Amino acid sequence: MAVTNDETLELLPTIAQEAFERAMALHKDNQLSEAEALYERTLALDPEHAGALCHLGILRLQEGKPNESANLLRQAISKDPDSAEAHSYLGAALQRLGALSEAETLYSRALSLHPDHAGALSCLGMLRLQQGKAGESATLLRRAVAQDPKSAEAHNGLGAALQGLGAYDEALGCHDKALVLAPGYDDALLHRGRALQALGRGAEAVACYEVVLEKTPGNAQTQLALATALEASGRHEEAFVRYRNAASIDPKLADYLSKALANYHQHHQADAQPGMQRMNAYIGSFLTNQGNARMGVYPGLSSAPFHDTTRLPGAAALEQNYPVIREEIEALAATEFHAESEGLKERGTWDVFLFYERGRKNEENCARCPVITRLIESHNTVRTQAGLLYVSKLSPGTYIKAHRGPTNVRLRCHLGIRIPDGDCGLKVGGETRRWQEGRCIVFDDSLEHEAWNQTAEPRVVLIIDFWHPDLTPMEIAYLEGLHRFASFQAVSLNRYWSANADARSKARTHYD
């Protein structure tokens, strides 16, 4: 028997509810795209469905879209004003947007509707911690944990509140519980590291931070936390790399770098004084640099064709990680390399795979080689316009003619990946060396140098530019800032000329 239109309309709420329940199950299993489609299907069938509005809003918050989330959750509350869940999650969305007062009101409303609502207790507890009220925060988060013992967020938040109260042992237990419930939970690892650091277990703290940064190297707070842990352990060079990383990601953290530099120079006067003299001489040389506008020569740095690799901790790290570095490079397809573009090749074929090129990070290439990228970003590598970091492949019969690099503030490191037998070498300042697989060669590329491969097999090396080891942390920070400024100016000028064809034409006419 055929179903009438009236009967179809009567069935719509039932069909919508069935779609909503399937969406909820998929959402719980973290199948977000499938859940999203069914929530939207529910709303297409029943635009007034408060549950679908609420949970689609929750999903949008999980996706990092707090504005969309807030709009949906406001609609959900208009349909169901007594939903503690909708009030709680709307508070979370608004807290993400910085509307803390309104978020607090919504959490309080959720708890008036449902005094034991674990989500509202947890979120209000975290808001109290953000307001510097660690005691109130801990009380609320203990209640949240009691209501929902499987909430990793509540356990982690309680641990953070306990750290604010100085109860680091108990806090560590909370973070460990959060990690049992949610292995790999980055925020719990970060807070666990802070608890370990406060307990004097610096090496374990460093390991926690490094795990987080392997997955999210752009996490400025973790870079900063790692910097402080390394500094406390006396690992100053590594610490300053992380301070500079943190300040580069989030300029608001630059004060931490400034304070660390001031503290370092106060306690290392013997090392700091020559660096300040070099820096002052370099700045002074700008007065008379008409004949050397590029200003590549930094005064007072030791010079030799080849340098001792032990002076560069990063070189030792490359050798230690050689097997996995080689594996990452050999997994690259030939089509992923491109021809070297500086015109230094006299004959043959020279192909490169770039990680950083004069301050520009190739995100796609770095993602292809995560271990190499991690090593680059955890040592004193030159990631400004003064540096290059890449894989270099010389085909049989290739000769790179003698040339000089632009500056002596860097030393160039070659890690041998595939080195064929035969006539294959590098000459720097009249001194010739051969590469070895798994070993580094460090040389001053501001001196005249050349390279060749006259064998029947390709030669492959990983090339990393490091800051000259004579430079102090203050000098490196200064040079990085100077290079960022110069790079910004160059980009701005290029944009100006691109946008002003008439001005470019007039300038060309004038100078011609």
Higher pLDDT, 292 or 457: 457
For residue 93, is pLDDT > 90?
A: yes
Nearest of 160, 130, 91 to residue 142 by alpha carbon: 160
For residue 271, is pLDDT > 80?
A: no
Q: DSSP characters for 103-159?
A: HHHHHHHHHHH-TT-HHHHHHHHHHHHHTT-HHHHHHHHHHHHHH-TT-HHHHHHHH
> How high is the pLDDT of residue 10?
54
Q: What is the pLDDT of residues 417-463, one digit of tens each?
A: 999 999 999 999 999 999 999 999 999 999 999 999 999 999 999 99
Q: Assign 9 a pLDDT band (cuts: 50, 70, 90).
A: very low
For residue 37, is pLDDT > 90?
A: yes
The whole-angstrom separation of Cα 100 and Cα 103 is 5
**Across 277-282, average pLDDT:** 89
The overall pTM is greater than 0.85: no
Q: What is the pLDDT of residues 106-121, one digit of tens each?
A: 999 999 999 999 999 9
**Across 273-289, average pLDDT:** 84
Q: What is the pLDDT of residues 317-346, one digit of tens each?
A: 999 999 999 999 999 999 999 998 777 777
Q: What is the pLDDT of residues 45-63, one digit of tens each?
A: 999 999 999 999 999 999 9
> How high is the pLDDT of residue 25?
93
- In 375-511 the beta strands, taken as DSSP E runs, fall at 388-394, 398-403, 410-418, 424-428, 431-433, 440-443, 449-453, 459-467
Whole-number average pLDDT of the chain: 90
472 and 272 Cβ atoms separated by less than 8 Å: yes
Domains detected in the chain = 1-115 (1.25.40.10), 306-471 (2.60.120.330), 476-482+487-511 (no CATH)
> How high is the pLDDT of residue 512?
37
Q: Assign 502 a pLDDT band (cuts: 50, 70, 90).
A: low
Tokens of 407: 């500056």
Q: What is the pLDDT of residues 459-479, one digit of tens each?
A: 999 999 999 999 999 999 999
Q: Is 396 exposed, middle or buried (0-12, 13-18, 19+ CB in 10 A)?
A: middle
